[in-house]
């Protein structure tokens, strides 16, 4: 091969390598922790009103989100065939509260994979659709949020100090969670418990979501909750609402 041709081939190879590297390592796709998000159907349905249909009366998975990164590979589309074995558990623990349809929760799972899963796939433990959704289910089961809250005596139809809920969860998990609320609405005089986030490091070890005194996050990490009108709970009292099935 002539020198000029060799140089051209080398440049092409380097460009391709750089492009592949950029897919995962560019600043826009760097992330530092995973956020395991559960939301409370009663509050979500209070926010979206008529969109909910037969919501469950237990905490459900919203998603497993890398912080500060989304949509890392827009050509890696969701394929439900790859998670066929997981579907029985997915329907129970990861239902789509906002878009009930004949196709079940495919809308939500597609969104979660293409927005968040393609970024989480930087990790070998999450580098396929089956691994991503399977590990999300496993982490949720390990956290056992529903039974944990019950054992702590934290139950619906009750008012709590936000600090008491946070401290109780720290006593079990050993890390600081992030707790989000639906802010006071119109004539309402109290915020509603809506979402609980527990965070993991890249080696899937529990870590603090928020350090004591840390301000509320901004940017990509804050957007998913904002899309539902949720905010990090303000210090003080919140209400943990019961599901009113007659309204849904």
Contact 198, 45 (CB under 8 A): no
What is the torsional sign of CA 24, 28, 33, 38? negative
- 107 catalytic? Reply is no
And the tokens for 195?
Answer: 């979402």
Catalytic, out of 112, 114, 197, 221: 112
- φ, ψ for residue 64, nearest 5 deg: -120, 110
- 116 catalytic? Reply is yes
Catalytic, out of 29, 46, 116, 221: 116
**Cα 70-71-77 angle, rounded to 5 deg:** 140
Contacts of 196 (CB under 8 A, 6+ apart): 37, 38, 39, 40, 59, 145, 169, 177, 178, 179, 180
Coil, strand, or helix at residue 191? strand
What is the torsional sign of CA 231, 174, 156, 53? positive
Catalytic, out of 46, 47, 62, 197: 62
Round to whole Å and give the CA distance between 49 and 32.
Answer: 35
Coil, strand, or helix at residue 160? strand
Residue (of 225, 224, 204) closest to 120 by Cα position: 204
- 62 catalytic? Reply is yes
Round to whole Å and give the CA distance between 17 and 47.
Answer: 46
Active-site residues: which are they?
A: 62, 112, 116
């Amino acid at each position: 091969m002539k020198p000029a041709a060799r140089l051209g081939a080398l440049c092409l190879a380097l460009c391709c390598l750089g492009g592949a590297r950029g897919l995962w390592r560019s600043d826009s796709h760097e992330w530092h922790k995973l956020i395991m998000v559960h939301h409370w159907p009663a509050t979500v349905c209070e926010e979206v009103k008529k969109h909910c249909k037969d919501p469950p009366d237990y905490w459900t998975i919203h998603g497993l989100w890398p912080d500060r990164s989304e949509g890392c590979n827009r050509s890696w589309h969701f394929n439900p065939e790859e998670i066929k074995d997981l579907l029985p558990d997915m329907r129970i623990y990861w239902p789509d509260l906002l878009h009930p349809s004949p196709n079940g929760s495919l809308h939500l799972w597609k969104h979660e994979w293409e927005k968040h899963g393609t970024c989480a796939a930087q990790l070998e433990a999450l580098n396929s659709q089956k691994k991503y959704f399977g590990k999300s289910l496993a982490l949720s089961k390990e956290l056992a949020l529903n039974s944990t809250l019950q054992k702590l005596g934290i139950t619906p139809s009750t008012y709590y100090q936000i600090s008491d809920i946070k401290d109780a969860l720290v006593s079990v998990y050993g890390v600081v969670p992030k707790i989000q609320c639906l802010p006071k609405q119109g004539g309402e005089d109290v915020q509603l418990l809506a979402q609980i986030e527990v965070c993991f490091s890249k080696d899937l070890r529990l870590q603090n979501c928020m350090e004591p005194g840390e301000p509320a996050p901004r940017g990509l990490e804050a957007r998913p909750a904002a899309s539902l009108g949720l905010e990090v709970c303000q210090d003080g009292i919140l209400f943990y609402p019961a599901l009113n099935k007659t309204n849904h």
